[in-house]
Amino acid sequence: MEQLSGIINYIVYFAITAGTYGILSLGLNIQWGNTGLFNIGIAGFYALGAYTSALVSGPPPSAWDGRIFGGFELPFIFGLLAAAIVSGFVAFLIGVPTLRLKADYLGIATIGIAESIRLVLKNESWLTNGVWGLQQLPSPLYTSIHGGTKELLQQHTALPGWLHDLVANSYNWFYLLLVLGILFILYLIVEKLTRSPWGRVLKAIREDEDSAAMSGKNTFSFKLQAFVLGAMIMGIGGSLYAHYARFISPASFKPLYGTFIVWVMLILGGSGNNKGAILGSFVVWGIWAGTDFLTGYLPFSATQAASIRVIIIGILLEVVLLWRPQGLLRRERRSKTFL
């Protein structure tokens, strides 16, 4: 039983991360799955969201910080909203010059913006504390939930060990609900939007931009809207990550974890399908976590094991592209379910 509660607590932790990735994947699905925008700078918007939220809701600079600005200690919800707004705004700025161009250019430009954002985070210590990152970020309602659980456990000392462990993990349970709740709300919004006339224009652009333009649609404007909306959702993902990890640094937003794995999630799950986007994030994160477990048994060093895991994810991507390009859940043909 003791072991079981350990496993359950691990699953909770696992699902929080997978759920956060689900949000990123959902954001990418608007851009790539629905509109065909090749954004490989997800990490940039993810980082922007995390840092914005940390600066809005986080603590002011401490004595040993390199930073002299930020940390307004506003409630979490303001951080979350600010994260979405800032990510969306930057997406707007980058989208205006690049969305008129071919997909190749957008790809190169977005990976460039992601790396540039990371350089700013690294170099502008006055705002971001440089490579040391932002620490001791608040988790929403942490003191009340954690304190309340502690009190409860002190009152009920006779609880069996496994139940004690599960209850003691209450904050993670709460955060899981928060992440899944936000994921669900975003899913409903995205689902509604992509099935609306607006979403049908996006799909028309994905299939054939010229004919969409010929039908009188301002394709540039629609692409920009989709790009900004996707980036806002990615920013929300960043905010949720920051307030759970409670520590962020430029190293958290490297292309591998920030961008590549999200792409594998969406492509494996099924690009163009919102359920697929979420499914993919859980499956791929499951494989990722599983390989961590497996490589532990192999006679390799920690860095070698890490390399093997990335190679496995890389092979997974190529296999999906070669043999199941539509992903686990193919995109739905009909845009309205009741027809």
Partner 1 sequence: MDILARIPQLLVYGIISGSILSLGGIGVSLTYSILGFANFAHGDIMALGAYITLGLFTLLGGWGLPNTPFAPLSFGLSFILAAILSMGLTGGCMILLDRVLFKHLRRAGSIILMMASIGIALGLRNILQFFWGPQPHYYIEGIQIATRIPALGIRIKPDQVFIICTAILLVVLLHVFLQHTKIGKAMRATADNMDLSRVTGINTDRVILWTGVIGAALATAAGVLAGIENKFITPELGWQMLLSIFASVVLGGLGNIYGAIVGGMVIGISEEISTAFVSTGYKPAIAFIIMVVMLLIKPAGLLGKGK
Q: Could you list the residues that contact partner 1 (CB under 8 A)? A: 36, 38, 40, 97-98, 101, 103-105, 107-109, 111-113, 115-116, 119-120, 122-123, 256, 260, 263-264, 267, 303-304, 306-308, 310-311, 313-315, 317-318, 321-322, 325
Nearer to partner 1, 187 or 260 (CB): 260
Residues 6+ apart with CB under 8 A from 125: 66, 67
Smallest separation (angstroms) from partner 1 to the CB of 304? 5
Token digits for 193? 């939007």
Nearer to partner 1, 215 or 307 (CB): 307
Length, in residues, of the chain: 339
The amino acid present at 40, given as its one-letter code, is I
CB 87 within 8 Å of CB 234: yes
Q: How many CB atoms lie within 10 A of CB 315?
A: 10
CB 183 within 8 Å of CB 19: yes
Smallest separation (angstroms) from partner 1 to the CB of 114? 10
Nearer to partner 1, 36 or 70 (CB): 36
Smallest separation (angstroms) from partner 1 to the CB of 42? 12
Nearer to partner 1, 119 or 163 (CB): 119
Please tell me the distance from the alpha carbon of residue 181 to that of residue 167, in angstroms, as a whole number.
20
Nearer to partner 1, 79 or 272 (CB): 272
* Closest by Cα among 20, 41, 46, 19 to 235: 46
Smallest separation (angstroms) from partner 1 to the CB of 308? 7
Nearer to partner 1, 240 or 268 (CB): 268
Smallest separation (angstroms) from partner 1 to the CB of 307? 4
Smallest separation (angstroms) from partner 1 to the CB of 281? 17
User: What SS3 class is residue 134?
Assistant: strand
The single residue listed with the structure tokens 């990418």 is 28
* CA dihedral (116, 117, 122, 128) positive or negative: positive
Nearer to partner 1, 11 or 131 (CB): 131
Smallest separation (angstroms) from partner 1 to the CB of 284? 13
CB 208 within 8 Å of CB 201: no
* 3-state percent breakdown (helix, strand, coil) of the chain, nearest 5: 75, 0, 25
